[in-house]
Structure 1
Amino acid sequence: MTNLPRLAALCLPLAFAVPSAHAAQDPAESLQPNPLLVDPVLANPIPTALVPLDPELPIAVRAMIDAAFASGDNDDVEAVARFARRTNPGNVGEIDALLAYYRSEHPPETPPDPIGNMLAAAIASAKDADVEAVGKLAKETNPENAQEIEERLVAYRAERKRLRDEAAAAERARLAAAKFWQHWKGEGQIGASQSSGNTESVGFSAGVALARQGIDWTHKFRAQADYQRTNGKTSVERYLGELEPQYRINDRTFAFGLARWEHDRILGYDTRWNLSGGLGYKVFDSKKMTLSLKGGPAFRQTDFVSGEEDTELTALAGVDFGWQISPTLRLTQVASTIIGEANGSTSSQTALNAKLTGALSARIAYSAQIDTSPPPGIESVDTQTRFTLVYGF
């Protein structure tokens, strides 16, 4: 339907070319075009506007730009392009296109930044002490860039805190899901001695120490056995076992309980039980040095080899010290004193560990057991030196 006027207009000349019978008889009555059949587009054509094209870039200007490109000097290229734009505003698009192509092939050179490179290397090491030291020196030697350096340090600290928080949350989730018998760590030690000549002696020493770190609870277990015969007689016969749970109150303070069983016939008692509890405080707690103090009331029961028994309320004080002297040497000191009305006893062990390879290390330990009121005929001080091999797990 919409093509009818156009079709009629196209066919109209044919109609004019064939004269009708009426036209031959009466020229005055010749056919006139019907306005409804005229195509409005053909009747009123839209005028065409010619858009002028950009002028060509002058040959001299193009030669200058090409020469700057050939030099490879980015500063010269930028200067020539800047003046070319200013003097040839009609060719800005072409000049920018040439400049963009040059920049894609010749990226700008990064000026040397030794301070920035040093700080970046320290940050990559992830060692907080090194980063802070380098950052401090960088700000002191480059005060004009102190603000930028500080911003990099702040970003590094924030990232390190985020990583530590994520690691702590993952560790808490791991511990929360663990069973009580899981995630125990410790060490086992064993040693033996034999001597002949004026004194015939053979000795054996073995021990194990375990620890489990939980979210709020820490459990420690220790067992030690020492046996020695000299000239056919038992000279050392000491066995010990203790269990110590600790509850973390805050980062420094903890509550503890301690159950200890001892057997030492040489010191005159067959069995000695100590039950105690109280509070402890961590004076130092780092990888290099640890020191904790604890104390509280205690209950002690002793069965002497003579058949007598003794039971009394006492007080306990203890110290636990560790010092990582070097990556391969560690010194430890564990001591506790039980103060009673009838008898006081102190046990102490000083040990030096030397790492041999992997989880294996050698240990020399000196232990002392002191009783203020031992049974008759028993020395109040008993000491022992051990040389053992220790395996950590």
Structure 2
Amino acid sequence: MPTLMNHRLASALLSVVALGAAAAAQAQTAAPAAPAATQKADGRFRAALGLGASLSSGNSRTSSFSLAGQGVRITDQDKLGVQASALYASSQGTTTAEQLRAGARYDYNLGPSTFAFGLADLEHNRPANLSLRGVVGAGAGLHLIRTETDTLDVFGGLAWNADRYVDAALVAGEMRSSYNYAAVLLGEESQHRLSDTVSVFQRLTVYPNLRERGEFRASFGSGLAVALSNAMNLNVGLSYAYNSDPGAGRKKGDTLLTTGVSVKFD
């Protein structure tokens, strides 16, 4: 019990520190963190839908809109998760964010603490010059913690990454309109219920490039959910995406801090 409590408190502290750092950073075009659907191993499909928006006028004319959703079905034997998000922002009439993302993952328990998985992701991000990115991957993992209030998984495998660019870019030493490569897939994720009304979650995934040694992509997402009612949450989300070789003239890291409300469909 002390070990679980310490892990939960550490995760909460990490989320608070990360959110504070994100507030000081310039919000760019990382994917919005999806709201967390209720996790119960009863075979029922559950979902959550989150919405965030802002608008300013006068000396500063800006607007932003984000929509994110997650669906999950869990049994004692397997887990199916799907998620999608959309982000749009403009400043002084110029589009600063335009991103669409969708993905799915299936886990199958091989034993009490081991599982196999397969995943697929699609992403569009115009400010990052990404017309379309497709990723498929598979591997295995371990359930390090698996209780009603806390889960912690680590996983690894292989993935295939296919990028298509809006404009040709200098990537891996050549001007390219597309770039495909195999990658290692490494990651960890956890979810913690701190109280009856407060929960946090986070996920880190890294894709070391097997075609170009030393190059890699990474993504991190975390969120804090506070229950306002049985069906509605207040959400704060942090996303960070890193690409060691995004193309000439593009920044390697994108950070996004979002706030909003979400509705659970249980």
TM-score bracket, normalised by the shorter chain, equals 0.7 to 0.9
Paired with 1:190 and 1:213, the residues of 2 have a C-alpha distance of 25
- Alignment-mate amino acid for residue 217 of structure 1: D
Give the 3-state SS of the residue equivalent to 1:379 in structure 2. Answer: coil
Give the 3-state SS of the residue equivalent to 1:266 in structure 2. Answer: helix
Indicate whether 1:331 and 2:200 are aligned. yes
Give the structure-2-normalised TM-score: 0.77
Indicate whether 1:363 and 2:204 are aligned. no
The correspondence for 2:225, drawn from 333, 353, 358, is: 353
- Alignment-mate amino acid for residue 236 of structure 1: A
- Alignment-mate amino acid for residue 369 of structure 1: A
Paired with 1:196 and 1:349, the residues of 2 have a C-alpha distance of 30
Unaligned runs of 5+ in 1: 1-128, 130-170, 176-182
Unaligned runs of 5+ in 2: 2-39, 169-176
Indicate whether 1:384 and 2:253 are aligned. no
Corresponding residue of 1:225 = 86
Query: Could you tell me how far 1:287 is from its partner in structure 2?
Result: 2.1
Paired with 2:77 and 2:64, the residues of 1 have a C-alpha distance of 41
Query: Could you tell me how far 1:216 is from its partner in structure 2?
Result: 2.3
Query: Could you tell me how far 1:215 is from its partner in structure 2?
Result: 4.8
Paired with 1:317 and 1:197, the residues of 2 have a C-alpha distance of 46
Indicate whether 1:315 and 2:187 are aligned. no
Give the 3-state SS of the residue equivalent to 1:357 in structure 2. Answer: coil
* Change in 2 beyond 3 A, CA 1:269/1:292: same
Corresponding residue of 1:306 = 167
* Change in 2 beyond 3 A, CA 1:287/1:215: closer
The correspondence for 1:287, drawn from 148, 156, 160, is: 148
- 1:58-207 equivalences in 2 (<5 Å): 183-207=44-68
Deviations 1:214-269 (A, max 9, x none): 35221110101111111111101111111101111112110000101111111121
Q: How many residues align?
A: 216
Deviations 1:13-36 (A, max 9, x none): xxxxxxxxxxxxxxxxxxxxxxxx
The correspondence for 2:244, drawn from 366, 372, 388, is: 372
* Change in 2 beyond 3 A, CA 1:217/1:323: closer
Paired with 2:250 and 2:118, the residues of 1 have a C-alpha distance of 31
Paired with 2:160 and 2:76, the residues of 1 have a C-alpha distance of 29
**Bigger share in helix:** 1
Deviations 1:95-114 (A, max 9, x none): xxxxxxxxxxxxxxxxxxxx
Query: Could you tell me how far 1:349 is from its partner in structure 2?
Result: 1.1
Give the 3-state SS of the residue equivalent to 1:313 in structure 2. Answer: strand
Deviations 1:254-304 (A, max 9, x none): 000010111111112110111110001111111222111111011000001
Give the structure-1-normalised TM-score: 0.53
**Bigger share in strand:** 2
Paired with 1:232 and 1:251, the residues of 2 have a C-alpha distance of 54
Paired with 2:81 and 2:48, the residues of 1 have a C-alpha distance of 12
Corresponding residue of 1:18 = none
Paired with 1:304 and 1:339, the residues of 2 have a C-alpha distance of 20
Deviations 1:25-64 (A, max 9, x none): xxxxxxxxxxxxxxxxxxxxxxxxxxxxxxxxxxxxxxxx
Q: Which has the higher contact order (CA 8 A, sep 6+)?
A: 2
Report sequence identity in percent: 24
